Structure 1
């Protein structure tokens, strides 16, 4: 097996942690970013020279540029860049504070964009590379109570899909990963709730709040299995455009796309009626 070098944002927990552990165990090199260095001291003690770590907050664009630059400089060649770090913000749109909105978009959307933008010159110079962007089932469909989280994920999917066409001539493959629920700390530990407006107890958005507050709903996906598939995808050529993980993600996305296509087909005559008569 060829040793690869990976740059992964957010390796302290969740998918990032699982990915780092699997890669390090098989002998790959990992450049990982965290907000709290202590969270990965155990990995550093166990894998030492295979693991390069740096502190990074994705809301800090200058820091993103410096950390990505340092990673490529220190490791020489990075084969795969994984945009994993992020979190969920939930609550009705009216309940969200301005600060929460900014932080969600700066982390999930702008931060991910800037990681990719900073990595691209290095990948082009190498003449090859892969980018894996972690999204979610919520990047293809939307649930009440998740408006800003969906805004960040629909936004990053649009950005990444455009980029994948732009960089294809440079032998850079790009993949969007859309997991469903998984047994990580995402839902009940890292997710954040907006302040409550009592009137929204009558809204479907309240159901999302109740799920997070009760912290009892089970998650279907096995994060270790999901991460193994993400890792294996790097061996596929061409890179898969999207990978859906989890039966809940499959059925939810399938329903959303089917309904969207049916609605589009129903508007065909209307759409064509607005064309100019000039040929």
Structure 2
């Protein structure tokens, strides 16, 4: 894919307090772009805006507050004069076997990771259309290729983001709005400790798998191989492309995991083919 000529862009990035979201904002600001970053804690505003006074704008937003999201996007448009790139990064992981989770816990996971994306996208689309196009980049997960045990709702939320992104890419193509879902591998961020939730009522049957997941998240045996700053440069490249892919796995590990998961899924579809295709009306 050939990148288009990179002009100064205006970004709206959710969840810029740390991790990949912060790295994306810093990379965009470093090349002279303008970034409106969302944060949930007002005491974080000054440090973010100090990254590039006049071009780094912090606004308060919790993406689960449906009544607030449209106003936040409108405010971002007013601050920048128009948005070019929307990055849906805000989210968290929920650890717990499906049997362990309450409906409220599952609902919060979907409300943040999926409906948060839906709300921001829905609010941003009219602005992008009026501007003549733009980019929507949704941060998914390798979990969207195959569900992780003990992270069923997290996997479900990212499956949903991938499906939404696929549909949006087709719906918005006539308006020159490009959509990509990015599926990262392991990055050296605080996601495994600072962006995790845990089932409130764990069951003994799942103690071993939950303990393994906690250990791998909080105290990995080896540091993740991917650099958030380098990952952010990939996001900038996607935003500059005239024809970006709908899916991109970040990192060699992420790409391998996704491709392995797709091969396993195709192998499933190739089982019991006669049975699966036995549903047609007889001639």
TM-score range, shorter chain: over 0.9
Extract unaligned runs of 5+ from structure 2: 1-5
What does 1:150-169 correspond to in 2, within 5 Å?
A: 150-169=155-174
Give the one of 112, 123, 134 matched to 1:118: 123
CA contact (8 A) 1:24 1:50 kept: yes
Give the one of 60, 64, 89 matched to 2:65: 60
CA contact (8 A) 1:91 1:209 kept: no
Q: Once the 2 structures are TM-superposed, how far is the Cα of residue 273 of structure 1 from its aligned partner?
A: 1.7
Structure with greater helix percent? 1
What does 1:44-59 correspond to in 2, within 5 Å?
A: 44-59=49-64
Quick check: 170-179 or 47-56, which moved more? 47-56
Q: Once the 2 structures are TM-superposed, how far is the Cα of residue 40 of structure 1 from its aligned partner?
A: 3.8
Aligned to 1:176: 181
What does 1:79-98 correspond to in 2, within 5 Å?
A: 79-98=84-103
Tell me how many residue pairs correspond in the alignment.
277
Indicate yes or no: 2:212 matched with 1:201: no
Task: From the superposition, tell whether residues 209 and 91 of structure 1 become closer, same or farther in structure 2 (CA, over 3 Å).
Answer: farther
Extract unaligned runs of 5+ from structure 1: none
The whole-number CA distance in structure 1 between the counterparts of 2:130 and 2:242 is 20
What does 1:1-279 correspond to in 2, within 5 Å?
A: 2-195=7-200, 196-202=202-208, 204-212=209-217, 214=219, 217-277=222-282
The whole-number CA distance in structure 2 between the counterparts of 1:237 and 1:19 is 19
CA contact (8 A) 1:142 1:150 kept: yes
TM-score by length of structure 2 reads 0.92
Q: Runs (4+) of structure 1 moved beyond 4 Å? A: 213-217
CA contact (8 A) 1:128 1:170 kept: yes
SS, match of residue 52 in structure 2: helix
Q: Once the 2 structures are TM-superposed, how far is the Cα of residue 215 of structure 1 from its aligned partner?
A: 5.5
Using CA pairs under 8 Å that are at least 6 residues apart, name the structure with larger relative contact order, 1 or 2. 2
Q: Once the 2 structures are TM-superposed, how far is the Cα of residue 216 of structure 1 from its aligned partner?
A: 5.1
TM-score by length of structure 1 reads 0.94
CA contact (8 A) 1:91 1:206 kept: no
Quick check: 80-89 or 44-53, which moved more? 44-53
The whole-number CA distance in structure 1 between the counterparts of 2:253 and 2:150 is 18
SS, match of residue 92 in structure 2: coil
CA contact (8 A) 1:88 1:190 kept: yes
Q: What's the CA shift string for 1:194-249, capped at 9, x where partnerless?
A: 132222235x4442133345465532211111111111112222121111112221
SS, match of residue 266 in structure 1: coil
The whole-number CA distance in structure 1 between the counterparts of 2:48 and 2:63 is 22
